[in-house]
Amino acid sequence: MEILLVGTFHFSDTSDLNTLSEKDKRKYSDSDFEKLAIDLAKFQADQVFVEYPFHLQEHLTSIYRSAEVEEINEAFKKNEIYQIGFRLAKILGHDAIYAVDWNEQPEESIDLGLVAEGQSKTEFEEVMNRVKLVLEKLSTIIQQGDIIELYKYINSYENIVNDHKVYLDLMQLDDEMAFEWVMRYWYYRNSKIVRNIKKSILPETKRAVILYGSGHNYLLKQLLEEDESIKVIQYGDWSE
């Protein structure tokens, strides 16, 4: 099967460092999200997978099928799941959208906040400052106003590698805590997500879209393509 992997920013409130400023988020309106969803719909996916807790699938289905938009929580309406994922699935005529996330703390995991205050504090801050530089570049693209161009860049090889390099660099810090966090939480989380995706693939599915936080792109592609039956296409490389 073919999977179109679409890395995204979180448009609702989040603690994720890799996110847009409130000013940049306000740059995009319903018409922009509709434009992006229409472009993604050209892939003709049979299923759409999103970053929502796997164990809350019934709740997500209930929200998706809600006849009255007014009944949906206002905070959720800001989310990329609603703004992009729901739009895409409805354009394609799907009766459901699929929750595949896992974001809990394994018993052995270490809080990344401890790394920020540990003996590698200075080096940690240097790594995190690179994230800010990437966001500044993206902010420049945002000012041009084309949401498809923004998403093509988010999903470009350059941006995906830069995102993943942050985790690789954290693993090299001297006090080991960051290494433990990356291995016991970040790699573990992405492995769980891929397992959830595979569990959710319907027998008749030939094509799917995965809409996920862009920081996951590198590992999701790598882990999914370990299955020879799956071909992953990055949105930055895809053309109809």
Percent of the chain with pLDDT over 70: 93
Residue 230: its pLDDT value, please?
98
pLDDT value of position 16: 65
Burial 109-141 (b: 16+ CB within 10 A, else e): bbebeebeebebeebbeebeeebeeebeebeeb
pTM of the full structure: 0.92
Parallel/antiparallel/unpaired status of strands 47-53 and 98-101:
parallel
* Whether the predicted pLDDT of 17 surpasses 70: no
Give the angle subtended at the CA of 82 by the CAs of 81 and 83, to the nearest 5°: 100
pLDDT tier at 26, thresholds 50, 70, 90? confident
For range 6-35, the mean pLDDT? 81
**196, two tokens:** 């959830």
Q: What is the CA radius of gyration of the chain?
A: 18
Higher pLDDT, 56 or 180: 56
The residues, ordered by sequence, that sit 6+ positions from 75 with a Cβ below 8 Å of its Cβ are 12, 13
Q: What value does the mean pLDDT take over residues 123-134? A: 84
218 vs 117: CA distance, rounded Å: 27
pLDDT value at residue 22? 76
Please check whether residue 240 lies inside any domain of the structure: no
Residue 227 scores a pLDDT above 90: yes
pLDDT at 113 over 80: no
* pLDDT tens figures, 32-87: 999 999 999 999 999 999 999 999 999 999 999 986 666 678 778 889 999 999 99
What mean pLDDT is predicted for residues 160-171? 93
pLDDT for 108 equals 67
Q: In this predicted structure, what is the pLDDT of residue 68?
A: 62
Rounded to an integer, the average pLDDT of 124-129 is 87
| Alpha-carbon span 31 to 195, nearest angstrom | 34
Q: Which domain range does residue 95 map to?
A: 2-234
Q: How high does pLDDT run on average in the chain? A: 89
Residue 239 lies in a domain: no
| Of 188 and 74, the one with more pLDDT | 188
Total tally of structural domains belonging to the chain: 1
* Residue 14 pLDDT class (50, 70, 90 cuts): low
Tell me the backbone φ, ψ of residue 52, rounded to 5 degrees.
-140, 145
